[in-house]
Structure 1
Amino acid sequence: MDWRPTRTVRTMVTFDPEGLTPAQCDGDACVACHKKWPRPRARIGRLPNGAALFACPECAAALTPEPVGNVYPLPFRVAFS
């Protein structure tokens, strides 16, 4: 599970490993653009076996879904002040 600062679980997308390179499956390359350096840090999904998949910040912004409707997360400092 991926715990956010608000202690809620973010829905993790499960990816099909077919078509991914071994470096992408190991988390050493971005799942979208194959960039290996700097190593991708944004966790965007997982494989069916539970291994995490990562993307570079540019690709992660394009791959993550928008919030549903008018529900937006509060910044940490507002939620816990």
Structure 2
Amino acid sequence: MSWRQARTAHVTMTFDPEGLTPTQREGDACVACHKKWPRPRIRIGRLPDDTTLFACPECADALLPQQDDTHSLPWRVAFS
């Protein structure tokens, strides 16, 4: 799984909407802890209808796998 600058996964997970509240399904609350403020900003996955789901930073760290630096190029190589 590769990472973008905004800490979003390039390949996102698909969630089952049945266990989520309407606020979570609309992206106004964290998909894991239900926190509404500050509004979650990290894209964590999608619903089957392609609606984007968000998580707070604490939950995103727990839900997303850790970045694997073994396959990344050094900055000077990647952007030269």
In the superposition, the TM-score normalised over structure 1's length comes to 0.77
> Residues 1-81 of structure 1 correspond to what in structure 2 (within 5 A)?
4=4, 10-67=10-67, 71-73=70-72, 78=75, 79-81=78-80
Q: Matched residues in 2 for 1:73 and 1:27: separation?
A: 31
In the superposition, the TM-score normalised over structure 2's length comes to 0.78
Q: Matched residues in 2 for 1:74 and 1:41: separation?
A: 27
Q: CA deviation at 1:4?
A: 2.9
Q: String of CA shifts for 1:29-62, please: whole Å, max 9, x gaps.
A: 0000000000000001000000000000000000
Give the share of equivalent positions with the same residue, in percent: 67
Report the aligned-residue RMSD: 2.4
Q: Which runs of 4+ in 1 moved over 6 A?
A: none
- Stretches of structure 1 lacking an aligned partner (at least 5 in a row): none
- Stretches of structure 2 lacking an aligned partner (at least 5 in a row): none
Length, aligned pairs only: 73
Query: Compared with structure 1, are the counterparts of its residues 42 and 72 closer, same or farther at alpha carbon in structure 2 (3 Å cutoff)?
Result: farther
